[in-house]
Amino acid sequence: MRFPRIALFLFALTMLIVLPAACSSGAPASLGDVPVFAGAEPADASANYITDAMVTSIEQSIAKQNLASEVSLYRLPEGTQWDAVKQFYTTEINDGWEPVPELTQEAGVINIIGWQRGSGASEQILIAGQAEDPTSGETFLLLGLFSE
């Protein structure tokens, strides 16, 4: 596992939420507005050490910044590749969301892509990530929405 990469990602996420961003139209989003990858089934983070560490790290980092967060975890169908997940969300996420290259992390075991919209008190960050448990071979989808 490469937890230093997760720490770097969390730092970039925090900085992007705190710093002003380009304006966007539309009401604040909720995680329920974000489509779920086809065939993904809800999963419990605590049932797997990789997902538990990832979700816990994100939630603790966000809590320290007094930010609102919504995090959902799903088990992906067997054989789902990161390129398919990335393409799905790149196509589906629009309505004022702008890609944020600093949130992209492609490290094999954990891959993440992110977007932002709004500014100031209405700024939001959205991430879609895929984590693979090399022991069990299970692959998970993490969706996170973070707001000031």
Which residues 6+ apart lie within 8 Å of 81 measured at CB? none
Which residue ranges make up each domain of the chain? 3-147
Among the residues of the chain, which ranges form H helices?
3-18, 49-64, 82-92
pLDDT at 48 (0 to 100): 86
Where does the pLDDT of residue 62 fall: very low under 50, low under 70, confident under 90, or very high at 90 and above? confident
Q: Which range among 22-31, 40-49, 75-84, 130-139 has the greatest average pLDDT?
A: 75-84
Place 4 in a pLDDT band, splitting at 50, 70 and 90: low
Q: What pLDDT was estimated at residue 23? A: 39
Rank 7-11, 74-78, 120-124 by mean pLDDT and report only the highest. 74-78
Quick check: 130 and 107 in contact, CB under 8 A?
A: no
pLDDT one-digit tens code per residue, 80-103: 999 999 999 999 998 899 999 999
